[in-house]
Structure 1
Amino acid sequence: MALNSQWVREWVARSAQYIADNRTELIRLDREIGDGDHGENMDRGFKAVSAKVTELPADASPSDILKTVATTLISTVGGASGPLYGTAFLKASQAVKDEDELDGAGIVALLQAARDGIVARGKAEVGDKTMVDAWTPAVRAAEDALAEGATEQQILSAAADAAKVGSEKTDPLIARKGRASYLGERAIGHRDPGSVSSALLLKAAAEVSP
């Protein structure tokens, strides 16, 4: 079953709920290797996103909704996360422009574009202890699932599972980007908060039924 605008709306709503539910944990993680504001910033941003999306007309396309998410995150989320996530959703919106429904290939294109936007904006790669460590495995898993003939829901589930594992694998890494990079080996043993919030967003996408 293809995924439409209602699915995107519900993904946004569930993402906002997951970020709110994990706000304290994201703050804790960021306090250990960053400046401690990731949870607060993301919660504020997705609360604003939820409000903006509800104002959109009923016939707004998936691309319209994703673009609204992007512009709202850029304007409301502080630090590096706003531009990074904003770029991710903006590129995702462009990847599905003029599409009323997203099939498996559309979902993979959306995820690829989001990941590529993050990489282009943050100049990070796998192993740098950033959200890319969640997004790249997610994209690869989605691509593999699509090639194997998986359904849209199975593609999203594969991506979400891979993002969670990728996030967990940031624990032993030395950070090479962002504030955490200043800590050197002291960042070892701490999970990257951006990878955790990324995994939460992909989990939300996978758990919304078409």
Structure 2
Amino acid sequence: MADGLDLSALESWIREFARLVADRRDELTELDSAIGDADHGANMDRGMSAVVTALEATPPTDPAALLKQVGMTLVSKVGGASGPLYGTLFLRMAGVAGDGTLDAETWARALRAGLDGVVARGKAEPGDKTMVDALGPACDALDAAVAEGASLGEALRRSAAAAAQGRDGTVPMLARKGRASYLGERSVGHQDPGATSATLLVDAAVTALAPAGG
């Protein structure tokens, strides 16, 4: 990660996340229809579409401004729990990102800060069948890769693989937070929609931020 992540790279990440959410909107809604309000896909797609529109209308000037703008837009445009949770994630990342280029360590700290914000806002812990179950492993894998001196691409790919494993691990879990928790044992056997969209966020980082061959 010699050159780090600049404003342009981070904007590419956000746009890729928006694209993935749009592509997987129906899947997210289907997952949410089983254990939630059947609106996660629609809410996230509406929110990320609003984010892209805001970026084009008022281009941010640095990474922190970009992440803050994304967070504020999601808080104001996305209904249900997704808006406050994802909004908090990006706002906490903004607090770490600063106004320059992010190196590997800063990126890892920023994502960890985002996770901590989600945990604080949603009062969720690992094993509660939420987006934390994907984001937590993603942050752990990223931290470990950075500590080992792995390349940016390798660190991001490990993070994405851990997120996917965490997402898949929500299927047998009993939901303890959110609307799904009302279902009790009936929540078992279903993949969590929040963990699924959180995995898309990490997948988008691989596509947009990992250098070719790095």
State the identity as a percent.
50
**Could you say which residue in structure 1 is the equivalent of 2:103?**
103
Q: What letter matches 2:151 in structure 1? A: T
Aligned with residue 21 of structure 2, among 4, 19, 26: 19
Q: Does 1:130 align with 2:130?
A: yes
Structure 2: state its 5+ residue gaps. none
Mapped to 1, the partners of 2:58 and 2:141 lie a distance apart of: 32
* Unpaired stretches in structure 1, ≥5 consecutive residues: none
Cα displacement (A) at 1:57: 3.6
- Residue in 2 that maps onto 1:88: 89
In 2, distance between residues paired with 1:4 and 1:155?
17
Shift, 1:80, TM fit: 0.4
Superimposed CA distance per residue, residues 120-147 of structure 1 (whole angstroms, 9 cap, x where no aligned partner): 0000010000000001000100010001
* Contact 1:107/1:152 (<8 A) preserved: no
Q: Structure 2: how far apart are the matches of 1:31 and 1:57?
A: 36
Please say if residues 103 and 152 of structure 1, whose CA atoms lie closer than 8 Å, have aligned partners that are also in contact. no
Q: What's 1:7 paired with? A: 9
Q: What per-residue deviation string (whole Å, max 9, x for no partner) do you get for residues 45-103 of structure 1?
A: 00000111123346x111110000000000000000000000000000001123x1111
Query: Structure 2: how far apart are the matches of 1:144 and 1:188?
Result: 31
Kindly indicate whether residue 162 of structure 2 is the aligned counterpart of residue 162 of structure 1: yes
Give the AA of the match of 1:175: A
Aligned alpha-carbon RMSD (Å): 1.0
1:23-64 CA distance string (max 9 Å, x none): 000000000000100000000000000111123346x11111
Write the distance in 2 (CA, Å) between the matches of 1:6 and 1:97: 14
Letter in 1 for 2:105: A
TM-score relative to the length of structure 1: 0.96
Deviation at 1:110, TM superposition (A): 1.2
- Give the drift of 1:11: 0.6
2:70 alignment counterpart? 69
Partners of 1:94 and 1:128 in 2: CA distance: 27
Deviation >2 Å, runs of 4+: 55-58
Distance in 1 separating the partners of 2:57 and 2:205: 21
Shift of 1:153: 2.3
Check if 1:205 corresponds to 2:205.
yes
What CA distance in whole angstroms lies between the structure 2 residues aligned with 1:130 and 1:57?
32
1:208 counterpart SS class: helix
CA distance in 2 between partners of 1:115 and 1:46 (Å): 19
CA offset at residue 150 of structure 1?
A: 1.1
Normalising by structure 2, what TM-score? 0.95
CA distance in 2, matches of 1:118, 1:92: 11
Amino acid at match of 1:171: V
Q: Write the distance in 1 (CA, Å) between the matches of 2:156 and 2:94.
A: 17
Q: Which residue of 2 aligns with 1:37?
A: 39
